[in-house]
Amino acid sequence: MFSVSEKISFIESIFGKGSLSTNGKNFSVRCPICAPTDLNKKKLAIRVTDDAHHCWTCGWKSYTLAPLIKRFSTQSALALYRDKFKPEKRVSDKEEKGPPPITLPEDFLLIGDKQDSKDPDVRAAWNYLLSRGVTERDAWFYKIGISKLDQRWKRRVIFPSFDEDGLLNFFVARNVDTWDRRPKWDNPDANKFEIVFNGLNINWSKEVIICEGLFDALKCGENSIPLLGSDFSTNSLLFSQIIMNGTPVILALDGDMWESKTPRLAKLLRQFDVQVSVVDTRDMPDPGSVSKRHFKEALDRAISPDWGSLFFDRLDFCTRTKLKI
């Protein structure tokens, strides 16, 4: 265990002299991202308890110092941070304010336990999962469930997410009916950037597959992480975990992202020396729409980005859509 003074000394060895706030919670240093010419301009505020930080000038923020150490210091400094100074547990803004924790519906039932039920709601949920290529093993592995009493969650399949300590941190529910029920996807109010969906299942020492949606993740394999959208930011917990663990990444975004977000995210990761490969998804709307075998064949052909080719793909894309580069 380390003392606060030891932690501050380490931070100053990376970022230079800083100043501690009067309440002792934040330590401010010069931001290496915007790199102000005035060396006394200390706008990068680091929360000492868990290293969450934010620059008041350029807007950079992240949940650990690992990305900045990786980019602006040495591998030995990153190793020292990982082994000695990394916080035991991140304290989220929500935890500080003390809101009620996320909870599943009171009558949440694992559908793997009820797949033989003759109940019409259960049958509708199970048939929907089968139509999306979900197997019985998937249902158990991802702990997919249903609720029969709560009107908000009724006739939806519920995908819970658990953090690395096995605690529920989020869940997503999908409508199973063919009629246009809105919203199609629903979830409790939470900041998706503050979680790694089902981080409990992730082996950070192996390459992880990053995809967009939950059904994509089911087809991509058990070491895959859905973004629950197509946004991926340096201020996300997922980004910090990748940098912290030196995890190789395979990008498997939807086919319509091949010429736009896929190269942008690949470039972002490469800027932090992350080993990146991309799956060519142009022959599929998204990984969730094809069989696991089809995706595995595409995964086996994953390539490291050729920046020349990606540039010309992007140039062609911008020309065809009349976008400005």
63 vs 68: which has the higher pLDDT: 68
Q: What is the average per-residue pLDDT within 24-48?
A: 91
Q: Give the per-residue pLDDT at 324.
A: 44
Q: What is the average per-residue pLDDT within 271-285?
A: 91
* pLDDT tens digits, one per residue of 159-171: 999 999 899 999 9
**Token pair of 18, please?**
């800083």
Report pTM.
Answer: 0.79
* pLDDT tens digits, one per residue of 123-151: 999 999 999 999 999 999 999 999 999 89
Give the angle 184-187-192 at the CA atoms, nearest 5°.
120
320 vs 107: which has the higher pLDDT: 107
Long-range contacts, 45-49 (Cβ 8 Å, 24+): 45/21, 46/11, 46/18, 47/91, 48/4, 48/7, 48/8, 48/20, 48/24, 49/25, 49/87, 49/91
Closest CA to 220 of 212, 231, 232: 212
Q: What is the average per-residue pLDDT within 17-33?
A: 91
Long-range contacts, 137-141 (Cβ 8 Å, 24+): 138/218, 139/110, 139/111, 139/112, 139/115, 140/110, 140/112, 141/201, 141/222
Q: Give the per-residue pLDDT at 143.
A: 95
Query: Average per-residue pLDDT in the chain?
Result: 87
* pLDDT tens digits, one per residue of 97-130: 545 689 999 999 999 887 778 899 999 999 999 9
* pLDDT tens digits, one per residue of 167-206: 999 999 999 997 777 889 999 988 888 899 999 999 999 9
pLDDT above 90: percentage of residues in the chain = 56
Helix (H, G, I), strand (E, B) or coil at 150: coil
Those residues with Cβ within 8 angstroms of residue 219's Cβ, 6 or more apart along the chain or in another chain: 133, 287, 288, 290, 291, 292, 295
Q: What is the average per-residue pLDDT within 253-271?
A: 88
Q: Give the per-residue pLDDT at 308.
A: 60
Q: Give the per-residue pLDDT at 313.
A: 56
Q: Provide the angle, in degrees to the nearest 10, between the axes of the packed helices 307-321 and 261-271.
A: 140
Element containing residue 27 per DSSP (H, E): strand 26-29
Those residues with Cβ within 8 angstroms of residue 3's Cβ, 6 or more apart along the chain or in another chain: none
All structural domains of the chain: 4-91 (3.90.580), 109-191 (3.90.980.10), 202-321 (3.40.1360.10)
pLDDT above 70: percentage of residues in the chain = 90
Amino acid code (one letter) for 309: S
**Token pair of 133, please?**
């290529």
Q: How confident is the model at residue 325 (pLDDT cuts 50, 70, 90)?
A: very low
